[in-house]
Chain A
Amino acid sequence: MIAATRKRVWWMIVPALVLLVGFLVLPYASIVVMSLRTADTRAVYGEGFTLSHYAQIVTDPFIWGIVGRSLRMGLTVTVVTLLLGYPVAYHLANLRSRWASMLYIFVISPLLVGMVVRTFAWMIILSNNGVINGALKSLGLIERPILLLNTPLGVTIALIHVFLPFVILPLLGNLQAISPDLAAAGRSLGASRLRTFLKVTLPLSLPGIQAGAILVFVLSISAYVTPAMLGGTRGRTMSVLVVQYLVDSFRWPAGAALAIFMSAITLAIIVVYLRLTARAMRRLP
């Protein structure tokens, strides 16, 4: 019966397929095509195809410097969001009071407030006469403001805030699915609470940690708004550079090659990470 119905209802999936294939899959192919086109000063691109943009990118130490900075920032953001997000997810998963739903809103609403707004908030906090410098000055701890805006440190702090909910939510789902009986069993067998956590809860939540880490790493590597608004030239990342190629200097083929290069590096890191974590998780009891 289902097979017969399936033949009659196939049209239901057609609009979505048209949308996703026609306006997502094919456009991604067009980045690859664009990256192989030749540059031209009078038109968007010239005649014929070339690999020269890739050759220029991989031999350019300036670009490798920005790649290195982006990766370092992505790694820092991932580690810190995991360290800050885990306690919150653990707290929310074990909370049985009327506060739970309000705290859940606390976690989820930063996610729904636009990136520009959240980054703007950090401009106010980090600027030379902003909240942090103002507080430190009135406490008499500093005389001249600490430079936070237009530095990699400022971008990193803001990115941690922006992406923190993205580790909390997968971890929360994961921790809620772990039966509380398991921890109770550990406790009743005489294990201390710390030991129960380290031996039972933490290993069982590794899939949540793995998922959250990938999500945040990819998001922070590819973030544009925050480094563009807070980074200046010293905090410039790969995405910012790509958009500069496309919008400011109008070098579409080179920009496309840079975008592909950046995706390839990200993908390679994810593959290695998945291999390593899969091996580590298999060793678990």
Chain B
Amino acid sequence: MNGRKTVWDHLFTLLVTAIYLFLMSPILLVVILSFNAGEFLSLPIEGMSLRWFVALFHNTRFLDATLHSLLLAAVAAVVNGVIGTLAAIYVVRFAGPRLANPLRLLMSAPLLVPEILTAIALLFYFFELGVGNNYGLAIQVGHIIVTFPYVFLNVSSALFNFDRSQEEAARSLGAGGWMTFRRVTLPAVKPGLITGCLFAFVISFDIFNISLLLKSVGMNTLPLELFDYLRFNFDPTAAAIATVSIGVTFVAVVIVDRTVGLRSLRF
């Protein structure tokens, strides 16, 4: 590049900076207001305090909702980690050219259809099955379905970038199918698996529409709890709930960034 910067370059930088700020500032605002010592959700804050977080930890509804969300997300991540990885290996390695594309489309389908429609579909379906929203089954299946593509796509893309001949070498050296899988294939897809599972976890933790329509009576998830709270209240407690949720996401993002790098993420 010929290095001289023109007025237009500076204007462009200004514009782009403004858009980055637009992206980040609402989230920062929520975090800042959750530490507000005052009673209101408005700027400027009246000093720093942890009082709203302390209040949260004495609130059993909130603790139950957090645990419920963590459990749903953990089960979704683990189940998808297993079946998503198996499916990705099959589709990338064995399905053959004619079967691979339709299968890939089917496996990405939960991302391609609106979440609210999937929630409605599952609501009717579980009702027709006679299960309804009992046992927390419908909501868990919904969380697994919606987050499935994150594991499938991330493991698939890790497999694409991996040289098959390593597996063939292991086989020709006498390793059995399981041994080859455990010692060669699995380490190769590990970055994709970590990214996929963590994002399945994060997305599940934040899912709203599925939870709204499929939840069991009296079992709120964290986003539902926040939504319900905001119907009748508007104070920094809500910001504290939101900050807890942002914290969970942030931890997952940092783990992915440190272990495999954020850019490997596939949507």
Contact = CB atoms under 8 A, between A and B. Distances in A.
B54 interface: no
A270 B110 CA distance: 18
A34 B267 CA distance: 32
A23 interface: yes
B196 interface: no
B267 A2 contact: no
13 contacts: A3-B96, A12-B87, A20-B109, A31-B117, A87-B16, A105-B257, A108-B253, A110-B24, A114-B249, A124-B30, A164-B22, A224-B209, A224-B212
Given A12-B89, A23-B122, A27-B125, A113 B249 contact: yes
Interface residues of A, number: 78
A16 B145 contact: no
Interface in B19-33: 19-20, 22-24, 26-27, 29-30, 33
B260 interface: no
Contacts of A179: none
Interface stretch (A54-62, A64-72, A241-249, A277-285): A241-249
A148 B207 CA distance: 26
Nearest to A219: B114
Contacts of A103: 20
Contacts of B141: 23
A104 B82 CA distance: 29
Interface string B198-230: 010011011111001100000000010011001
Contacts, number: 228
A211 to B, nearest CB: 11
B148 interface: yes
B76 to A, nearest CB: 11
B116 A31 contact: no
B140 to A, nearest CB: 11
B158 to A, nearest CB: 16
B90 interface: yes
Nearest to B231: A229
Interface in A194-216: none
Contacts of A247: 212-213
Given A116-B223, A121-B29, A124-B33, A263 B117 contact: yes
B227 to A, nearest CB: 5
Contacts of A15: 82-83, 86-87
Contact of A104 (B15, B115, B263): B263
B265 A116 contact: no
Nearest to B123: A246
B127 interface: yes
A121 B20 contact: no
Contacts of A101: 257, 262-263
